[in-house]
Structures are given as C-alpha cells and as structure tokens.
Amino acid sequence: MKVTRIAYFTGLNAGKYAALVEQARRLGRIRSEVWQRYGSIGGVGSGLRDRQVRDHWLADGTHVRFGVLANAWKETVRDAMADIGANLASAKVQVRRAINRRTNDPVERKRMLAALIADRWASDPFLARQMRKHWKRGRNRTHDQIVVRADRHHTVTDPRGRLWLAVPGLERRKMVKIPLSSTVAPTGTLRLILRGGRVEVHYQIDASQMRSSQRPCGDRTIGVDKGYSEALTDSDGGRHGTRLGELLAGESDRLKERNRRRAKLRSIANTASLRGDHAKALRIRSHNLGTVKRDRQAARHRARVRTEISTAVHGVVDKAAIVVAEDLTRSFAGRKRLGKNVNRRLAAWTKGVTAEALTSVSERRGSALVRVNAAYTSQACHRCGRLGRRSGDRFHCTWCGVVWQADVNAAINILQRAGDPDIALHTPHHAVRQILQDRTDRHRTRLPVQDSIPAIAERRANHPNRSAMSNQ
C-alpha cells in the first residue's frame, strides 16, 4: 500500500521558478487538450488507453505545438487520462446504485455490472442513459503541475552537504536544480505543484516502511460513530480525536470573518474603479485580495484536521481487529448542494477525510473495516431498539427510561449492525425503519398483557410511567 508524502521547497531563485511555472502552464494546455478530446464517452469512456493517445499524437504531430520535452508531455497525457478515469469511476459508483435500484434479478444485475466495468455500457439503453446522467463532462483545471517520471530526476549533494533535486526543464539536458529543505530524497514518480512562489513535491512511499504501519492492531470488534466535536466515539465509550470540534469551529469562525472582510474590500475596490480610481482598485486587489496567503492557511488547516483524524483512527485500531463503521463513502454527490454554508462544507469534507483514514489505516495495520448501514443508529436505543429522542449530546429512550450518551449509543448500534440478519448495507432508509418497528412490535406482543383494557395497555406501552423510569 502506498501513501503520499509532500516535501516543500522555498527559496528557489525567481528565474528558475518562472521557468518551472512556464513548463507547468504549457503542460496545463496539454491536459486541457486531453480532457477536451478524450474526456467523454468517445474517449476514455470507450476504453481508450494513454498509450493509444500517445501513438496518435506522435503520428499526427499534435505534441509539437506545446513546446515541451517528449517525456514531460507523455507523462502529462498519462496523468490527465488517469484523472478522466477517476472522474468516470465516480460516475460508475452512482450507476451501480441505480442498477441495484432497478432490478432484484441477480442475473440481470450481474450482466449490467459486467457491461459497466468493461466499458460496454453504450449499447445498453438503460446504462447509457444512467451514464449520461451521472457522468458530468469535466474540464481540466490543473495548470500548475509537472509530473516527473522516476528515471527522469535525481538528487545531488553539494559540498556543504545540502541536497538538491534535479528535474528536467524546457530544454534538453538542462536540468533545473531545486534546493531541498529535508535530508530525505523523494523517490518514484514525482508530482511538482507550483503554488505561491514555492514548490511542493508529492511522491509516494510504501506504507510498510512507516513506523505507524508496524504497530499491530488490537484483537476486538469495535463500533465507531463519527462526530463533530470528536472525530470518533467507539462502542466502549472511548473518544478519539477530541480536538476536532475545536479545530473546525475555529476554522469556520475564521472563514466567516475573512469572507466578510474580503467582501467589504471588494466593494471598496469596485466603488473605486467606478469612480475611475483604477490604481486604488488594483492596489486593493493585488495586496488585500490575493490568494497566496489564503491557500496556504487553508492547506495548514487541512493538514491539522488530517492529523487529528488519523490519530483518532489509530487509537481505535490499537484495540480493534475489526472496526465497524458507517459507510462514509455514500452521499458525496450532494457536495454541490451544500452551497456557501461553511459549516456544512467543512463537515462534508471531514467525513471524506475520516472515510479515507479508516480505509488506509485499517489496510496498513491489518485490521478489517466493516461498513454498515447507519440508518437510525443515532435515533434508536441500543438496548430495546425503540426510537427515542435525541437532544444535543444526550439520547433519551422513553421505553427504557434511560438517558445515554448519544454518540456512544450510536456507536453500539453501529457495532450491532455488523451482525444484523435483516439490515444490509444498502437496505433503504424507510425499510430500516419498518424493520425496527416490526421488531419492537414483536417484542411488545410477547409481553404479558398487564391491563385487560387494550387502550390503556397501548398508552402504557407508549408512555412508560415514572416509576419505570426511576428504576433505571
């Protein structure tokens, strides 16, 4: 298993940096061309491979007009094709769900899934319609990256013991040397990202080399509930990643305040340019409304949240051989609908980070991750299964008369879902409610009838009296 490492380089001289930026800009045009030509049903959607595109470009001379070295454009084509592939794969996840909704016939399902995987969906009317619906045509937005193949870069040590990374420039045999701030040389294929005057080098290392990967996992089965103030609460009542809420709330406040200030400055700049004071408008735009500092702060915040969530997941895996969790990969499609609401956007993003961390840490440390249907796990009592009332961080079961910690109750419910004979991962929400209802009804009919008048018995069932509550 591979994990991405990022090394940052600052203090590169302006000329060298400009040359790299120019190279990335030209490669960005190649990416756009690839998206435009092959980013649809006729291209990657029909199973086209990057090697075929390369041969095609070499034959018709497309590559010449971009003015970059051969290896740079070939790697860029490969990378852009992979991006399109990822875009296609995410559409297929949606279509897979549509198939499951459309038919219960296992043979028909299998046929459609096979056609989908092998990119033979265009000839099936239902699949073609679904793909058109879910595969939104994308475009390239990357103009600041250079992909360097493993055999095209090397590091050198200068007499003072400093490490330099040498990557190809725009001219043959003229390498650009970048001073490294670390003593570890990046390896494998590199992705250089040029942002705000510095170079980020992204590369992958084998996770088995990492210290955290060598820590063994636990031996128990643990359910986890994802939260906002804590990253995870487990079914033992343990809390992991307790600083998450603070981090998110702080960021949310900071973003709201910053957006307010920027809006004000923008309106001052607009007024100035309406008045004809273009110098002032320009000054505000370049000094106060830039994106360098903003992007850097955002990256720092993201890194902090990732660390907090990763630590939380490690804490759970320390005691678990099997981690049972909600399927957090669902409902990502709704991200666009979140609009401008800062809190909801942060929460949706955090959910994705948690899903990633659960998968990667489990894989690295050898624990199993079981994804379950989490419908009603935060609203049902883990002891009697009835739906109760949740207020803030407390859950109140009117039947048992007990107040639980809401997230601990949810984590226990999630744990129990792993062995649930009726509720499968994709059982619809309303069906889950019905199953829960049927179970408690069955339970209720087994109880001795305490009162001969049915109406009173019914009322008692729905509203347990005070003495029952105080017994708990």
Residues that bind Zn ion (CB under 5 A): 381, 383-384, 397, 399-400
Minimum CB distance to Zn ion, residue 424 (Å) = 24
Minimum CB distance to Zn ion, residue 136 (Å) = 45
Backbone angles phi, psi at 357, to 5 degrees: -65, -40
CB-wise, 177 or 396, nearer to Zn ion? 396
Minimum CB distance to Zn ion, residue 398 (Å) = 8
Minimum CB distance to Zn ion, residue 458 (Å) = 18
How many Cα atoms within 13 Å fall on the side-chain side of residue 11? 4
DSSP structure class, residue 172: T
Which residue in 149, 32, 135 sits closest to 87, CA to CA?
Answer: 135
- Those residues whose C-beta lies under 8 Å from the C-beta of residue 41, and which sit 6 or more positions away, are 122, 131, 132, 135
Site of tokens 């099997």: 322
CB-wise, 286 or 467, nearer to Zn ion? 467
Backbone angles phi, psi at 344, to 5 degrees: -70, -35
Q: What is the dihedral of CA 201, 141, 24, 14, to 10 degrees?
A: -80
Minimum CB distance to Zn ion, residue 397 (Å) = 3
How far apart, in Å, are the Cα atoms of 295 and each of 92, 166, 290?
A: 32, 27, 9
* Cα distance between residue 242 and residue 230, in whole Å: 4
Minimum CB distance to Zn ion, residue 97 (Å) = 33
* Cα distance between residue 259 and residue 282, in whole Å: 19
Q: In whole angstroms, what separates CA 284 from the centre of its chain? A: 35
What is the rounded radius of gyration, in angstroms, for the C-alpha atoms of the chain? 28
Nearest residue to Zn ion by CB is: 381
Minimum CB distance to Zn ion, residue 384 (Å) = 3
> Helix 70-102 crosses helix 50-60 at what angle (to 10 degrees)?
140
CB-wise, 9 or 399, nearer to Zn ion? 399
CB-wise, 305 or 397, nearer to Zn ion? 397
- Those residues whose C-beta lies under 8 Å from the C-beta of residue 76, and which sit 6 or more positions away, are 27, 30, 31, 34, 68, 147
First to last CA, the chain: 49
CB-wise, 255 or 400, nearer to Zn ion? 400
How far apart, in Å, are the Cα atoms of 377 and each of 26, 41, 390, 413?
A: 51, 40, 11, 5
Minimum CB distance to Zn ion, residue 461 (Å) = 12
CB-wise, 322 or 408, nearer to Zn ion? 408
CB-wise, 371 or 386, nearer to Zn ion? 386
Minimum CB distance to Zn ion, residue 380 (Å) = 8
CB-wise, 207 or 384, nearer to Zn ion? 384
CB-wise, 80 or 400, nearer to Zn ion? 400
